[in-house]
Structure 1
C-alpha cells in the first residue's frame, strides 16, 4: 500500500479527463496545474485525455471534443501505465470508460464534481435537475472519494444523496496574477468578466447592468456572437492566456461574476490575486471564496454589488488571494486518493 500523504512513498496516479487542452476553463487549469504540483512533489502523473482518442465535437459546444468508443483503448492505456491510483475527473465518455475499467477489475478510484451538469442541462434544455442528479449520483456512487472544491458544494451534494465527499481546495499562481498597470485605455470604471461565454454562465446579467464605465468580456463560447449583437456597447476581447490574461485581469476596476451555477469559480481568485475586488451573487462559489473577507461584495442586486466592490481596497483583494495555493490544492488531492497495488491492474478481463 502506498502512502497518500506525499511524505512517504511516491505515487503514480493516472488522471482521466474529458476536459483538456485546447479547452480554456477552470477544470483544465485545475487539473494541469495540480499535475505540475504533484510532479514537483515527486509523484508521477499520467494524463489520459481526448488527445489520445478519435473525437467528435460536442453538440452545441464544438470546442469540447468527445472521445469515440474509448473502452478498449483506455483499458490498454491504463494497463500500460500501471498506476497505483486512478482519479476520474469528469463524467464524459472517458470518465465512464475508466469507471467501467476500475469496476471490472475491482480497483478503487476517486472522482471529482467539477461542474454542475444538472443546472447546466436545465439551462440548455429545460430537463429537470433531479433527473440529471440521479445520473450523476449513480456515476459517483462507487467512488472512494468524490472531491469537491467548497463546503457549499459538499452540503448540496450531500442533500442530493451523494456519499464519500472529500474536500479539495483550489489555488492561484500569485506570481503570474498580480497587480500591475492597466493595459486598457477605456472609460472607467472597467467592469470585467472572464470565462466561458455560455448561457449557464449568466453573462447576460452582467451585460444588462446599467452602470457607468465600460463592460469588458474576456473569453469565448457559444453565446458570444449573440451577446455581441445584443450589447454593442460592451467590449469583447476573446480568450486570453498567460501573461496576456493576467495583464487584462489587472486592468479591471471590478471583476463581475454573474454565474449562479459554478462549483468554485477559479477566476474569482485569479482576479483577487490581480488586486481586483469581486462583485457577485451570494451563491455557492462566491460565498465560499469571498465569505466575510471583505475582498468582494455579494448581493442579489448585481449592480449594487458592483457599486460596493468599487470601494474595496485592491490590496485587501490581493491579500485574500494569498490564502489559496496550488501546493495546498495538490496536497489535498494526494490525501484524497485511494491507492492500490499496481500489479493488480490487468488481472481481471475488461
Structure 2
C-alpha cells in the first residue's frame, strides 16, 4: 500500500508523538508498504510560540499539493493539527479524498493555560478539523469518551507500544550514586507537564529529572538537590530510566504517556494522578498507584513488584500498534 503521512511533529523533536510515528513507519516499511512522510523539515519554518523546538511549516500548500499528487497515495493519514495538517486536510477535501487523522495533544487545555483561550473555542476548531476525517485515531478509551462527549463523531482507539528490548530492567541500579529510593520524572520540563508537583513532593531519597525545556532555567537553581540530566535518547535514556525505583508522572493533560510504558518495561512502577492517560495505562495496585497526592502515590508504588510492571510492558508491542494503524486507514477514494 502507498501511504502518505502528513505530520507537523517529526525529528529532531523528542516526544511521544514522534516516537510513535517513527516506530510505526519503520515497521510499515519493513512490511513492504511505500510511505511518503511530509514533515516540517522539507519547508521553511517558524518556531511555535512557547515551544521553540517545535517548528511549523510556512505556507506549505503548494509544495504539499505537488508531493501528494506525484505520490498518488492509496491512503492518507494526517497526524497533527499544525500548518501541514490543515493544508493537507484542505487539499483532501477539495479533491474529495478520504483521509484519517489522529489526536495526540490536549491543545484546548494548553491554549487555556498559556494564552487564556476558552476551551470551547479550541474544541470547536479541533472538532471541525477532525470530524472531516473518516476516522480519528485516539490513544485511549478515556480520550475517546471525552471527545465523543464534546461532539467528535469518529473516534477509534489506536493504542501505543514500547521497545522492550531497549527498555529493560538494569542488572545493577548504580548509575546515580545518590541516596535511594530514586524517584524519576522524564519528559519536557515545562509548565504543562505539572513537574513542580513532583519537585515539591515530600519524598525520601533522590529526585531525578530526565529531559529539558523552557522551565529548566528557573527550576534548576530553585531545586539544587534534584538531579537534572538534560535530554537523553536511545540507549542512554533506557539506562537512566532503568536506574530508578519509581517513575513519577505528574501530568494532568497528556492523552497517553508512552514514557510510562518505557518505565514499566524497565521494571519501574508508576505514580500518577487518576486522570486521562494514566487511568488507561496504569493497573492500580499492580503496575502503579493513582492518587490525588502524588507523594502518597510514589511511596505506595515503591511496594509494587517490578516483575508485574515488566509483564504489562511486554503486552504492548509496536507491532500491535502498527497493525492497528494499518487497519484503521481508509482508501483514498470511496
TM-score class normalised by the smaller sequence: over 0.9
**Among 35, 39, 55, which residue is 2:29 paired with?**
39
Task: Kindly state the Cα deviation for residue 40 of structure 1 after the two structures are TM-superposed.
Answer: 2.0
Shift >3 Å, 4+ stretches: none
Task: Please state if 1:177 is matched with 2:167.
Answer: yes
**Among 315, 320, 323, which residue is 2:312 paired with?**
320
Task: Please state if 1:165 is matched with 2:159.
Answer: no
Whether contact under 8 Å (1:293, 1:320) holds in the other structure is no
Task: Please state if 1:283 is matched with 2:275.
Answer: yes
CA distance in structure 1 between the aligned counterparts of 2:278 and 2:121, rounded to whole angstroms = 26
TM-score w.r.t. length of structure 1: 0.93
Whether contact under 8 Å (2:286, 2:305) holds in the other structure is no
Task: Please state if 1:134 is matched with 2:124.
Answer: yes
Secondary structure at the residue paired with 1:36?
A: helix
Name the structure 2 match of 1:265.
257
Name the structure 2 match of 1:99.
89
Task: Please state if 1:191 is matched with 2:183.
Answer: yes
Name the structure 2 match of 1:239.
231
Name the structure 1 match of 2:295.
303
Secondary structure at the residue paired with 2:125?
A: helix
**Among 89, 110, 115, which residue is 1:120 paired with?**
110
Q: Deviations over 1:276-331 (max 9, x none)?
A: 11000011111101134610011011010001001111111101111111011011
CA distance in structure 2 between the aligned counterparts of 1:326 and 1:23, rounded to whole angstroms = 20
CA distance in structure 1 between the aligned counterparts of 2:136 and 2:294, rounded to whole angstroms = 32
Q: Deviations over 1:74-126 (max 9, x none)?
A: 10111121111110000000000000110010000000000000011112122
Give the 5 Å matches for 1:25-64.
25-64=15-54
Secondary structure at the residue paired with 1:57?
A: strand
Name the structure 1 match of 2:14.
24
**Among 128, 143, 154, which residue is 1:153 paired with?**
143
Name the structure 2 match of 1:5.
none
**Among 240, 244, 248, which residue is 1:248 paired with?**
240
Secondary structure at the residue paired with 2:52?
A: strand
Q: Deviations over 1:239-267 (max 9, x none)?
A: 10110000011001100000000000000
Indicate the structure whose relative CO is greater, using CA pairs within 8 Å and at least 6 residues apart: 1
Aligned residues: 332
- For structure 1, the residue ranges without an aligned partner over 5 or more in a row are 1-10, 345-350
CA distance in structure 1 between the aligned counterparts of 2:257 and 2:105, rounded to whole angstroms = 10
Secondary structure at the residue paired with 2:120?
A: helix
Name the structure 1 match of 2:210.
218
Whether contact under 8 Å (1:85, 1:337) holds in the other structure is yes
Secondary structure at the residue paired with 1:172?
A: coil
CA distance in structure 1 between the aligned counterparts of 2:116 and 2:224, rounded to whole angstroms = 29
CA distance in structure 2 between the aligned counterparts of 1:324 and 1:37, rounded to whole angstroms = 15
CA distance in structure 2 between the aligned counterparts of 1:177 and 1:228, rounded to whole angstroms = 27
Name the structure 2 match of 1:228.
220
- For structure 2, the residue ranges without an aligned partner over 5 or more in a row are none
